[in-house]
Chain A
Amino acid sequence: MTAATASQTAGPYWHLIDFPEWADLLRADGPNAGVAGGERIVLTGRVTDGQGAPVADAMVEIWQADPEGRYDGAFHGFGRCGTDADGMFRFVTLKPGPVPGRGNQTQAPHVVLSIFARGLLKPLVTRLYFEGEALNETDPVLQAVTPARRATLIARPTGAPGEWRLDIRLQGEGETVFLDI
């Protein structure tokens, strides 16, 4: 057995593999063209570092289930977005459904977020949940997090139609809960 290849930083010039249209999972000429149904949502947030400064050179990737909670359906639940000068990311996608967990558990609707950047020798992985979902109360990952830090995983509506916001703090006060997957 050979151990998995070591991770290295994506560095500051990863934008050479940035295709900004990938942040819109519902783009007309993309892999989800023709996928019908589901609720269109916008996921946004700001990535900041331990000094509260925006992380302006991060690559954020998402991975999620379709509105029925399936990963093997027609919906391509992957997106990539570079943060802007203010550290903001923005995805357009469909709201995922609840996903089976281990045993008889059910996972609340969630989106995986991975952060790659200069200064990160391996990605930081977290999840975005949706405020107000009844299943949040029993979600195994949320329950594994101390209640005081749980809010760092829960997006809130911004007031704009279908738009949810979750800020990512890499370090320090209000530090996002990152997952060891």
Chain B
Amino acid sequence: MTDPTGYRRPDPATQPPYDVPAYGSTHHRHPKQALVRVPHTLTEVSGPRFSPAWYAPHADLSTLNGKAALGERIIVAGRVLDEDGRPVRGAMVEVWQANAAGRYHHPGDQHDAPLDPNFLGRGRVFTDEEGSYRFTTIRPGAYPWRNHPNAWRPVHIHFSLFGAGFAQRLITQMYFPGDPLLAYDPIFNGIADAAARERLIARFDLDITEPEWALGYRFDIVLRGREATPFENDGAH
């Protein structure tokens, strides 16, 4: 049997480490032993396929039972590509976030900010043939956390993505341009490479913006690409 083509290994500076001293929750949760590197097999290069028939899409977070959530309505759209710029088709994208006041619809969130009965803050969309996705939501609020004195999370939306291979699995956060809290956030700044951090910040996009309706933000996401194969290098015409 031919060996499967694995996924490329990331430049360590472009991904956060497990141990980030400024982020307190990592202290007792990061492994102290070195990870064991495994070559990719069918286990890593295959991955679950999510059918919208079983995993119903939910692309409008801005209303619940026909009632509008409070806050600034926004549209978030972008493409999911691999490192070679190829669209990742049919990828399941899950999102979750705080409401406009900076509170999650979650029993663990006791921040003294109002809950919005018309906002749950979770959604699920699938990429199309171009790797594009799109959803409508409410711009989330910043909120305090107890990591350090006067700590506030920058405004963000959580993203969960499944590519074709389990090794492409990604959970990340989308941030908003110009947020002054980014400079103080140990989660965002846990990534050493400035360009890699910058790519987590969505861009305002007038083409996504809908007149008289909602501002648009573009957030493109890149999943790991395949290692070069002899087949792909054999490009002589």
Contacts and interface: CB of A to CB of B under 8 A. Distances in A.
Interface of A: 1-17, 30-31, 49-51, 53, 55, 57, 61, 63, 65, 71-72, 76-78, 99-103, 107, 110, 112, 114, 116-124, 140-141, 144-145, 149, 170-172, 175-181
A57 B170 CA distance: 18
B28 A121 contact: no
Nearest to B82: A4
Contacts, number: 209
B42 interface: yes
Please classify the interface of chain A as helix (H, G, I), strand (E, B), loop, or mixed, using the class held by over half of its residues: loop
Given A7-B15, A99-B43, 18 more contacts: A4-B14, A6-B199, A8-B188, A15-B108, A16-B106, A30-B54, A49-B29, A55-B29, A72-B46, A110-B43, A112-B43, A117-B29, A118-B25, A121-B16, A140-B38, A175-B33, A177-B33, A179-B35
B170 A4 contact: yes
B73 interface: no
A110 B130 CA distance: 34
Interface residues of B, number: 76
A57 B104 CA distance: 15
B144 to A, nearest CB: 13
Given A119-B25, A145-B36, A170-B30, A6 B47 contact: no
Interface of B: 1, 3, 10-11, 14-18, 20, 23-33, 35-44, 46-49, 51, 54, 81, 83-85, 94, 96, 98, 104-106, 108-109, 120-122, 124, 158, 160, 166-167, 169-173, 187-188, 190-191, 193, 196-197, 199-200, 221-225
Contacts of A50: 27-29, 32
Contacts of B33: 149, 175, 177-178
A112 B36 contact: no
A123 B35 CA distance: 12
Contacts of B222: 2-5
Given A4-B83, A121-B20, A71 B42 contact: yes
A57 B42 CA distance: 30
